[in-house]
A = this chain, B = another copy of it.
Amino acid sequence: MNQHLLFAIAGGDLRQQRLADMLALDGFEVRITGFDSSPYINSGAKAFESLAETVNGADCVVLPLPVTHDGACLNTPFSRSVYLMDELYRSLSPGQLVVGGLINKNTYEKAKEYGFKIIDYLEREELSVLNAIPTAEGAIQIAMEELPITIHGSNVLVIGYGRCGRVLAKALQALGANVTASARKCADFAWMRVQGIRTAHTDNLRNIGEFDLIVNTVPALILDEYLLNKVKRDCLIIDLASKPGGVDLSVASQLGLRVIWSLSLPGKVAPVTSGEIIKEAILNIIAEEAMQ
């Protein structure tokens, strides 16, 4: 890759900081803004105060994940200042490449209006796959903290066999758990058998009472009143599904079941690894853009 690229990192948390750091280590020129109160001292990137100065002439402008919480301000948890999205839009040049995470509809519209090119790195498949690793480790950490038994030898159900379910099931199995995974497609059952994992059908979780740990990865109400009533009293339920989540929380609460609903684990449990994963996705985006 062309080492003469100029990156502008505008806002974000430890992940974007680490990303800036590693891009600088890779030999790229890196400008950052919005990290003035960060406890982490970045070695190789150059800090700027104004958004305009930071993004001016950058080959790639990197925005946070999410880009903005309220639509008005850039997401800059490590800054005492406020950065307005409108200022950002005005500072970008037509044709400039901008990447960010969880880009909202309004920002896409502004991209059309102002003519810059915007791509969501969260939609890159390789990022989703690699993010499954910190998600799985985060879930395992929670299980280790909460359960009075070891993962080794425990009976675990992983609901859903997408990226997250696969990586988590594999990691739990590697630690010696007796893992069952559930899915709905024949091909998924075949992959479970390749992996040596017991299979269950997500629509038929009758044996749910056998498990010490249940991790849901499916974004739909799976653990309803009927199933929660069959769950062991000392079972731990971890829900990794985005809103509205996969567990009927009011029923679980009435039954006294422990449910931990964990979202966005990668940034929480392994921000540095997360930053590295985002970096790679961005470099892949740039490489693909260059080939067009």
Chain A residues close to B by CB (< 8 Å): 14, 124-127, 129-130, 132-134, 137-138, 140-141, 144-145, 147-153, 167, 170-171, 174-176, 186-187, 189-191, 193-194, 196, 269-273, 284
Across the interface, do B186 and A124 meet the contact criterion of CB distance under 8 Å? yes
Taking A126-B189, A141-B144, A170-B194 as known contacts, 14 extra A-B pairs with beta carbons closer than 8 A to each other, sorted by chain A number, are: A126-B186, A129-B194, A130-B190, A132-B194, A133-B152, A138-B144, A149-B272, A150-B273, A153-B273, A167-B194, A171-B174, A171-B176, A174-B175, A186-B284
How far apart are the CA atoms of A145 and B14 in the complex, in Å?
Answer: 16
Residues of B within 8 A of A196 (CB): 176
Across the interface, do B174 and A152 meet the contact criterion of CB distance under 8 Å? no
Residues of B within 8 A of A269 (CB): 144, 150
13 residue pairs from A and B, CB less than 8 Å apart: A124-B186, A129-B187, A129-B190, A129-B191, A130-B190, A130-B193, A133-B176, A137-B175, A141-B141, A148-B271, A152-B194, A176-B194, A176-B196
Across the interface, do A190 and B125 meet the contact criterion of CB distance under 8 Å? yes
Residues of B within 8 A of A273 (CB): 148-150, 152-153
How far apart are the CA atoms of A151 and B134 in the complex, in Å?
Answer: 9
How far apart are the CA atoms of A124 and B190 in the complex, in Å?
Answer: 11
Residues of B within 8 A of A193 (CB): 130, 153
Most B CB within 10 A of own CB, among A140, A150, A191, A271: A150
Residues of B within 8 A of A167 (CB): 194
Residues of B within 8 A of A14 (CB): 148
Q: Name the residue on B nearest A283 (C-beta).
A: B186
Across the interface, do A270 and B148 meet the contact criterion of CB distance under 8 Å? yes
How far apart are the CA atoms of A196 and B137 in the complex, in Å?
Answer: 15
Residues of B within 8 A of A171 (CB): 174-176
Q: Name the residue on B nearest A15 (C-beta).
A: B148
How far apart are the CA atoms of A170 and B153 in the complex, in Å?
Answer: 15
Residues of B within 8 A of A272 (CB): 148-149
